[in-house]
């Protein structure tokens, strides 16, 4: 599934999957990433720099907020799903 997606779509899909696993019907979510950015990069087949750039891009679009080193707040689940393709 992730093999054909762009880096942006991979990161968005990963965040949507975690959020929907925690609370399937929620339109917002707050959680700690279970992996470091390096672990996330390895899992998604990306570099750490690419994961960081994509998280920053999602933050600039106000779809997510970053709290601390691993904290994620999803502000707009529909928008994030759209980014995931």
What is the pTM for the complete model shown?
Answer: 0.91
Q: Are 22 and 74 in contact (CB under 8 A)?
A: no
> How many structural domains comprise the chain?
1
CATH at 64: 1.10.10.10
Per-residue pLDDT tens digits of the chain, which is 85 residues long: 567 899 999 999 999 999 999 988 888 999 999 899 999 999 999 999 999 999 999 999 999 999 998 999 999 999 999 999 9
Torsion of CA 13, 17, 18, 24, to 10 degrees: 140
CA 76 to each of CA 24, 34, 36, 47: distance values in angstroms, whole numbers, following the listed order: 14, 20, 23, 25
Q: Looking at residue 4, what is its pLDDT?
A: 87
Q: Are 48 and 11 in contact (CB under 8 A)?
A: no
Domain assignment of residue 14, given as a range: 2-84
Q: Looking at residue 25, what is its pLDDT?
A: 85
């Amino acid at each position: 599934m992730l093999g054909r997606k762009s880096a942006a779509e991979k990161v968005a899909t990963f965040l949507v999957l975690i959020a929907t696993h925690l609370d399937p019907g929620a339109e917002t979510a707050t959680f700690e990433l279970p992996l470091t950015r390096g672990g996330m990069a390895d899992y998604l087949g990306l570099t750490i720099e690419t994961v960081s750039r994509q998280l920053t891009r999602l933050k600039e679009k106000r779809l997510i907020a970053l709290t601390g080193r691993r904290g994620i707040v999803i502000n707009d689940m529909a928008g994030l799903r759209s980014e995931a393709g």
